[in-house]
């Protein structure tokens, strides 16, 4: 399979997975928005909710990294700059969700 085809399929699948996760996140975020600290900690202490939030974060960063890399492919002409930008983007798309998940798992 061509690399561009795989990227397109990953974009479509991660976009489709994002919709129910985003709806779930918005509903739960509005329920804990005005709560005190203890209620927020209780929300993130639930293993199922912690897992769903982790999947949401990973999927969101995966989707955004793929989308932004397409912008680099289309609009950055210098291959060296494009490769560095993509590597920094993919590294941050791994590190930031990892740090977030580690910090949530500490709770």
Every domain of the chain and the residues it spans: 3-106
Using an 8 Å Cβ cutoff, are 98 and 42 in contact? no
pLDDT tops 90 at residue 86:
yes
Q: How many CA atoms lie less than 13 Å away from 38 in the CB half-sphere?
A: 0
The model carries a pTM of 0.84
**Residue 75 pLDDT > 90:** yes
pLDDT in tens, 1-21: 788 899 899 999 999 999 999
Q: Domain 3-106 falls in which CATH fold? A: 3 helical TM bundles of succinate and fumarate reductases (1.20.1300)
Contact by Cβ (8 Å): 76, 88 = no
pLDDT digits (tens, 9 = 90+) for 25-62: 999 989 888 889 888 888 888 999 999 999 999 999 99
Q: What is the mean pLDDT of residues 58-75?
A: 94
């Amino acid at each position: 399979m061509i690399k561009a085809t795989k990227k397109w399929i990953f974009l479509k699948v991660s976009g489709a997975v994002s919709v129910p996760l985003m709806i779930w996140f918005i509903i739960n975020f509005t329920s804990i928005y005005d709560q005190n600290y203890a209620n927020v900690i209780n929300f993130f202490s639930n293993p199922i909710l912690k897992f769903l939030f982790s999947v949401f974060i990973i999927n969101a960063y995966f989707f955004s990294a793929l989308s932004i890399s397409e912008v680099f492919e289309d609009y950055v002409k210098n291959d060296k700059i494009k490769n560095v930008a993509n590597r920094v983007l993919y590294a941050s798309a791994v590190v930031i969700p990892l740090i977030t998940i580690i910090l949530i798992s500490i709770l």
